[in-house]
């Protein structure tokens, strides 16, 4: 496979993982990838039809995201993994167990939106029972908060880790540097997986115009942080890379910086049209391999798509019946107790 930078092979750090995934896991991964993509496509369609104000999401990051989500130790509190996601985290969340209908609710900004009560853009999860802390629209600020949960985990002990994700463009903010620094203080190293998903663009600006290097993980080297770069469109490769990085952090209680090169299959967001762009589609690539390896047939693959498309139609029909929030609701949750103004 050739990644988005035209590389046929990975420069270093990767450990081929095709033997690590069993048949059932591969089928499960595929199912989750399609489930996520159908949800994204429904949200895009809603935006185009005026049923949602703004779409942004993780379409094109399914190989990376599902592989990560399935390796998370899910639960509440410092014994479990914390996730500081950015706004392309749906594949991760879906692999952890979120349901499409909740994403559709947030897209439509209904009162039933369990993540934000109709206040946030889509894909802004907040799930305390799984340690998914609130996704913020601000670029890179999640890299400043992630050391905090990792700090608590370091003190707590055990094997829980913190995972933070963000895009390549955001690493230009000093916050990325700050995260590397906080994570690697001598004697205070943090169990923190610092991930950069590199899709080569910041909205419309190519990274080649504004960043000298496309191996952003190497910024971790002066801090003594182990790091690697991988083809995030290759399920088996990125699964293995994440597995290795996560195992290292759980055991060594030290940070790791991982770059996954991914596609942005519908562009930045609805602000740039959300139209299909000619990039590597990790789902298509994975399906070709599954069929070639005799794990699934084309008919079985098509059936997965049909199943989730029909499910999303039902979700959308359901959500259309659900109420929008009441205007007076703005006063809820300003403070823990009834607001005093």
Positive or negative torsion for Cα 247, 60, 28, 294: negative
Q: How far is the CB of 154 from other proteins (least distance, A)?
A: 11
Contact between 206 and other proteins (CB under 8 A)?
Answer: no
User: Between residues 14 and 190, which has the closer beta carbon with respect to other proteins?
Assistant: 190
Q: Is 308 helix (H, G, I), strand (E, B) or coil?
A: helix
User: Between residues 11 and 157, which has the closer beta carbon with respect to other proteins?
Assistant: 157
Sheet holding 256-261, edge to edge: 82-84, 162-167, 192-198, 256-261, 226-231
**Residue partners of 55: CB distance under 8 A and separation at least 6:** 40, 43, 44, 46, 47, 107, 122, 269, 270, 274
Residue with tokens 């592989």: 67
Q: How far is the CB of 56 from other proteins (least distance, A)?
A: 16
**205-206 and 82-84 as β-strands: parallel, antiparallel, unpaired?**
unpaired
Binding mask 68-107 for other proteins (x = CB under 8 A): ---------xx---x-------------------------
Which of 175, 215, 236, 244: binder of other proteins (CB under 8 A)?
175
Given phi > 0 = left and psi -120 to 50 = alpha, else beta, which region is 100? Answer: alpha
User: Between residues 3 and 113, which has the closer beta carbon with respect to other proteins?
Assistant: 113
Distance CA(124)–CA(105), nearest Å, equals: 12
Q: How far is the CB of 271 from other proteins (least distance, A)?
A: 20
Contact between 337 and other proteins (CB under 8 A)?
Answer: yes
Q: How far is the CB of 295 from other proteins (least distance, A)?
A: 38
Contact between 291 and other proteins (CB under 8 A)?
Answer: no
Distance CA(190)–CA(125), nearest Å, equals: 24
Which of 150, 163, 196, 315: binder of other proteins (CB under 8 A)?
150
Binding mask 101-140 for other proteins (x = CB under 8 A): ------------xxxxx-xx---x-xxx----xx-x-x--
Residue with tokens 């993994």: 81
Binding site for other proteins (CB under 8 A): 77-78, 82, 113-117, 119-120, 124, 126-128, 133-134, 136, 138, 141, 143-153, 174-175, 178-179, 181-182, 185, 332-337, 340-341
């Amino acid at each position: 496979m050739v990644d988005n930078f035209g590389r046929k092979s990975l420069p270093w750090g990767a450990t081929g993982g095709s033997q690590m995934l069993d048949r059932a896991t591969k089928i499960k991964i595929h199912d989750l990838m399609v489930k996520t993509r159908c949800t994204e496509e429904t949200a895009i369609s809603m935006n185009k039809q005026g049923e949602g104000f703004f779409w942004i999401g993780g379409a094109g990051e399914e190989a990376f995201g599902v592989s990560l989500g399935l390796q998370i130790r899910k639960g509440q509190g410092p014994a479990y993994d914390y996730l500081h996601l950015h706004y392309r985290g749906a594949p991760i969340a879906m692999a952890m167990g979120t349901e499409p209908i909740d994403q559709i609710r947030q897209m439509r900004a209904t009162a039933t939106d369990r993540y934000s009560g109709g206040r946030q853009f889509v894909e802004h999860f907040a799930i305390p029972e799984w340690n998914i802390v609130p996704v913020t629209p601000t670029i890179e600020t999640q890299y400043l908060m992630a050391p905090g949960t990792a700090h608590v985990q370091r003190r707590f002990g055990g094997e829980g880790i913190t995972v933070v994700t963000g895009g390549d463009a955001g690493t230009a903010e000093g916050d990325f540097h700050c995260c590397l620094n906080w994570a690697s203080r001598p004697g205070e190293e943090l169990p923190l997986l610092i991930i950069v998903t590199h899709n080569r663009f910041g909205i419309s600006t190519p990274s080649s115009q504004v960043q000298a290097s496309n191996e952003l993980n190497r910024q971790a080297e002066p801090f003594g942080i182990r790091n690697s770069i991988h083809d995030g469109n290759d399920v088996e490769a990125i699964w293995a890379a994440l597995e290795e990085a996560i195992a290292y952090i759980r055991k060594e209680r030290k940070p790791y910086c991982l770059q996954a090169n991914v596609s942005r299959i519908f562009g930045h967001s609805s602000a740039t049209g959300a139209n299909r762009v000619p990039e590597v589609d990790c789902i298509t690539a994975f399906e070709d391999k599954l069929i070639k390896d005799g794990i699934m047939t084309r008919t079985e693959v098509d059936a997965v798509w049909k199943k989730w498309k029909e499910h999303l139609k039902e979700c959308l029909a359901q959500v259309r019946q659900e109420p929008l929030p009441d205007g007076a609701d703005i006063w809820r949750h300003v403070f823990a107790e009834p607001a005093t103004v």
